[in-house]
Amino acid sequence: MRSRKICCEKQDEVFHSGQSQIVVIHNGLLRVKTGDCTLNVVAGCGIYFSQGDYLLEYTPIDGQYRASVIEFDNEFVSKLLQKHSELLMSFPKVANIQSGLFSFTLNILIKQTLSGMKTLEEQSYPDAIMRLKYEEMLILLLHGEQGEHLYALLSQLTNKSSERLRRFMERHYLKEWKLTDYAQEFGASLTTFKELFNEYYGISPRAWISERRILHAHKLLLTSKMSIVDVAMESGFSSQSYFTQSYRRRFGTTPSKVRTGDEQVTIGK
DNA sequence: TCCATCCGTCTTAGTTCAAT
DNA sequence: ATTGAACTAAGACGGATGGA
């Protein structure tokens, strides 16, 4: 559990969120893309990220991009859901989650909580008080406009089978396995595996794996000196040919043009 | 009756390879 | 490194099966 502030210049980034987190934008614009979902978050708004990979585009306004990040570990979320189970009983069970994201505007109560966190950070109070602030923040969001969506996302974190699936996929998404191999290694029939996958991620296994691989490849293109063939192979593509096709379909340009800086990718599909 | 799982069929996406 | 075409595998979906 920790919070931190970020400031940066205009840039694109493939961002891996190791645990769920809330980002509050103070200045500038943040565009977040995952799967079929793109969200624009402006100053005065926040966004919740589940664990996973996201394509981020930071746009400073008046030369500045500033945001605060609050990270939550699964144990904290699990305890919060247990502690407030009575309060949360009225929430319906959401079967299909479309994305691991949702954005929200900062109402007066959330602003006050953030302000309280800031004050606590500047002074030496016990951590337990800050944890209460984190709880307060999540409970306020749970009772906001998209509370049911957030509840579904948080419940998912503490669901053993979906958590097992998430860990399994994070470990193996770069493997050159057929879907039947994934199912077999996971220990379920192909149909059960696909249905569990759809329930957890809201998209098909193949679509999710493709998106993760293309983001991994994009990150390697921007941050390494590997050849395009090596980037393709390292990212689980069977050939450079197919990698180029997929990259073009996903980003509207080819890997070599992005590598040489001739073109930049845009996040929206 | 409900739920988890499996099966069959049609559609869509991924892979390979040759040409440039 | 990229593109296009042919081939193959995976996905979507509805219905069937079997156990609790």
Answer yes or no: do A117 and A10 share one domain: yes
- pLDDT over 60 (residue A268): no
Answer yes or no: do A192 and A239 share one domain: no
In-domain check, residue A223? yes
Residue A33, SS3 per DSSP: strand
Answer yes or no: do A174 and A105 share one domain: no
Residue A256 Cβ under 7 A from any strand C atom? yes
Give the CATH number for residue A239.
Answer: 1.10.10.60
Q: Considering chain A, what percentage of its residues have pLDDT values greater than 70? A: 81
Answer yes or no: do A152 and A164 share one domain: no
Over residues A192-205, mean pLDDT: 71
Residue A142 has which token pair? 């749970």
Answer yes or no: do A36 and A151 share one domain: yes
Q: What is the domain count for chain A?
A: 3
In-domain check, residue A269? no
- pLDDT over 90 (residue A56): no
Residue A250 Cβ under 7 A from any strand C atom? no
Answer yes or no: do A87 and A7 share one domain: yes
In-domain check, residue A83? yes
Q: Which residues contact A47 (CB under 8 A, 6 or more apart)?
A: A22, A23, A25, A30, A32, A39, A41, A101, A102, A103, A104
In-domain check, residue A268? no
Look at A15-19, A25-29, A198-202, A242-246 and tell me which has the smallest mean pLDDT.
A198-202
Nucleotide nearest to A231 (CA to C1'): C1
Answer yes or no: do A180 and A130 share one domain: no
In-domain check, residue A110? yes
Tens digits of residue pLDDT in A73-115: 877 887 888 788 777 777 765 555 556 778 889 999 999 999 9
Residue A227 Cβ under 7 A from any strand C atom? yes
Q: What Å value separates CA A242 and C1' C6?
A: 15
Backbone angles phi, psi at A81, to 5 degrees: -65, -35
In-domain check, residue A184? yes
| pLDDT level of residue A169 (50, 70, 90 thresholds) | confident
Answer yes or no: do A40 and A99 share one domain: yes
- pLDDT over 60 (residue A16): yes
- pLDDT over 90 (residue A257): no
Mean pLDDT taken over chain A = 77
Answer yes or no: do A105 and A217 share one domain: no
- pLDDT over 80 (residue A120): yes
Tens digits of residue pLDDT in A123-139: 878 888 988 999 999 99
pLDDT at A269: 38
Over residues A138-157, mean pLDDT: 82
For C11, nearest residue by CA–C1' is A204
d(CA A6, CA A64): 11
Answer yes or no: do A138 and A152 share one domain: yes
- Which residues form the domain of A219? 207-260
Answer yes or no: do A179 and A139 share one domain: no
Over residues A146-159, mean pLDDT: 76
Residue A210 Cβ under 7 A from any strand B atom? yes
In-domain check, residue A232? yes
In-domain check, residue A78? yes
Residue A101, SS3 per DSSP: strand
Q: Which of A122, A157, A192 is the last residue of a domain?
A: A157
Element (H, E) at A122: helix A108-122
Residue A256 has which token pair? 């070599």
Give CA A118 to chain center in angstroms.
Answer: 24
- pLDDT over 80 (residue A60): yes
| pLDDT level of residue A267 (50, 70, 90 thresholds) | very low
Beta carbons within 10 angstroms of residue A16's beta carbon: 13
